[in-house]
Amino acid sequence: MGMLIIGMVVGALRLAGLCGPLANPGAFWMSEIWTLYNLWLMYRGVRSAVKHITRRNTYRFPVHVPVTMVTRKQRLSGVTENLHAQGIAILTDNALLQTDQVRVLIHLPYTLVSGNLQVSFNKQVGSEQLQYAGKTDHMWISGGIFIPDSAAGGNAIDGFLISIMDQQLQIYNRLNKLEHEMLEQIA
């Protein structure tokens, strides 16, 4: 990158007549255009790498709890499609703007968690995504990075998810035990 910038500076100085004569203008302009193209490629590469690094880095749990959202224009209700203390996807009747910073209130069973959602994606729900939902042509999933107002809010979400995992493990253990008993009866 340093060589590209030095080449651009020398080219600008040559254009100004400060660093030798401009003997071949065609070659000069071609090298300047080539340098700009390489700078653009480097910019896109760095931008792509940063975008990839900042993508979702935690697992979101497929948990459905009610939420209330307040945008600049309206107040909406919805249900979470997935949830984590650092991110959330919400099922609503209206699409949220991707540039919006939305206030979100998550209604957990024993507490309310408030915070900001930086909307990074919107997609319309397909009928295959929601079973038994009927017509889904007006439903949207919007999501992105969720920042709770306090550390206690993030801890409440984590505690809720841990309690659900514990319940799921208890059910799994019961089913496993029943399956084992049935296999013993068959044998």
Predicted confidence at residue 132, as pLDDT, reads 47
Which residues have C-beta within 8 Å of that of residue 139, sequence separation ≥ 6? Answer: 91, 92, 93, 124, 125, 130, 133
Pick the closest to residue 102 from 94, 161, 123, 151 (CA basis): 94
Distance set, CA 123 to CA 2, 72, 90, 117 (Å): 42, 20, 11, 16
Predicted confidence at residue 16, as pLDDT, reads 62
Reported CATH class of domain 66-162: mainly beta
Task: Give the β-pairing of 112-124 and 140-148.
Answer: antiparallel
Sorted by where each begins, the domain ranges of the chain are 2-53, 66-162
What dihedral angle (degrees, nearest 10) is formed by the CA atoms of 19, 23, 26, 29?
0
Structure token digits, residue 29: 């302009």
Predicted confidence at residue 98, as pLDDT, reads 73
What is d(CA 80, CA 68) in angstroms, rounded to the nearest whole number?
10
- Computed on alpha carbons and rounded to an integer, the radius of gyration of the chain in Å comes to 27
Predicted confidence at residue 72, as pLDDT, reads 80
Predicted confidence at residue 35, as pLDDT, reads 77
Profile the chain (187 residues) by mean pLDDT over runs of 10 residues: 68 64 69 79 82 61 87 85 82 79 89 89 71 61 87 88 77 77 81
Distance set, CA 148 to CA 57, 72, 101, 116, 154 (Å): 17, 19, 13, 6, 6
Beta bridge partners of 145: 87, 118
